[in-house]
Structure 1
Amino acid sequence: MIYLLFSVLSSTAIFVLFKLFSKYKIDTLQAIVINYATAFSFGLIFNDAQITVSEIIQTHWFIAAIGLGFLFIAIFNVMALTAQRNGLSVASVASKMSLIIPVIFGIYVNNESTEAQKLIGIALALVAVYLTSIKQKDNSVVTKSIYLPIILFIGSGIIDTSVNHFAPKGNIPLFLSSIFGIAAIIGFSLFAYKSITTKKRFQLKSIPFGILLGVVNYGSMYFLLLALRVENTESSTIFTINNIAILALSTLVGLVLFKENISKKNWIGIILAFIAILLVTLA
């Protein structure tokens, strides 16, 4: 469970950094591009195998890595649009509820266990996600641009499922580096286009924030894949624990560091999240 703990901490750090982006008025796209370039570099640093570009292209996961690189950028933009048009709560619920997609995939495709205790834990996790995500004064509108949260839900679930399904048992850094590298190329292209059309200048302060984001972003994916590769563990269990633990911890961090208001529903969601973790872990 140490890998899962590091994944949860890394993902929570991403939440903290995005909060700081708003505080210090960091250009999100610029930081995101640097983030992917940093994560790409980390993958190369930790890769200990001598593999040529031609060999990478011939791997069974290369086409999937290209698709995931596109998805990483696309779903990030969909998440931003969902938060703007439907509210933060809708965006949070849609992205975290997507855990049900890799869970169902693990149960029906990989024939993972379906004990009653585990299924109850997963059901509680979904309730916990909803209750923890509901924020006061959010002005969420589910019916406005309804296609956005649906795309976010499906896209987030596909990313989690695909990363786990296509990741090799060995040389995870190279796999992640390929995904982040493709996302970086797409991101740089988008940034170049926006710079030409809007004449917006690059902010130097985006660099350190982008690097920090890249470090924790790589860590969240790397440690999650290590957790999924631990013997006698099931992906449906790992994804359930990972998603609700991130949401619960992020909510508590928001309370402590950013003085965010937590409603009674949020507290109930946090309590249910810990109960769900216990049920799924002990199942």
Structure 2
Amino acid sequence: MSFVIAPLDVIKIRLQLQIHSLSDPLSVRDVNGPVYKGTLGTLKQILREEGVTGLWKGNIPAELMYLAYGSIQFSAYTYMSHILEGVPAPYTPHNSAISFISGATAGAAATAATYPLDLLRTRFAAQGKDRVYTSIIASVKHIAQHEGPKGFFRGLGAGVSQIVPYMGLFFASYESLKPVMADSPIPLPLGSSDAVAGVVASVLSKTAVYPLDTTRKRLQVQGPLRDRYVHRNIPTYTGVISTITRIWKHEGRRGLYRGLTVSLLKAAPASAVTMWTYERAMGIMLALDEKSAGV
């Protein structure tokens, strides 16, 4: 799945890192890097300037990240849900609260554990025709040597600040929407209430926290090689609040939401497949548990 959506990731990252806008002619003056306009425009420009392989830059760390992230996320979600459901009455949290807390905890744990891979994916996707890093091993060595251990976790604050409300809102929305979708009198387009609920929950939660995702990407490409990425005019950012403030001041609301459309195109189907698979897997495991208990 991640291999298929990799081009959307690259397009999203390129748009998020772009500080200039075609609506403001002064912002593109003396810009050495490309000026992207929209999802299709960015796709065409990458193909023209970098070839097909340009759309899969950073795919290897992305594949590793998705594999690790998914297993950690759902393990943590299930574990935390069981703990909260076991709280004795009258202190047992409401179902929506259990979903929110479990989702937020799972997201934070998975994000922190896989963050170095996310950072590598961003840096490789931000490379243009001129390669900044020749390989994953070379990138790890260079970051460790010139930026230290902290270099692998640039923007982690924005990542956790984003993922905690995102996963909390996602799972709370999903659990609320699932029974509604199951009782829908209208035939569902994806053939499953789980998949449709996953799509809607993903769109709502992703849109709500997207500025923090843009902030994370801007912080991830900070470092000694910042001016060698495809956008050679990326400013120096230091913290989450100051980055958001600076983007808002110099680029407006558009700057915080660049790439949102392609992000939703990527996240919605991925969430549909993920939640459909999750529900089926949980159903199989519960059936096996009941069968074992009966024996």
TM-score (norm 2): 0.31
Structure whose CA Rg is larger = 2
Q: Which has the higher contact order (CA 8 A, sep 6+)?
A: 1
TM-score (norm 1): 0.32
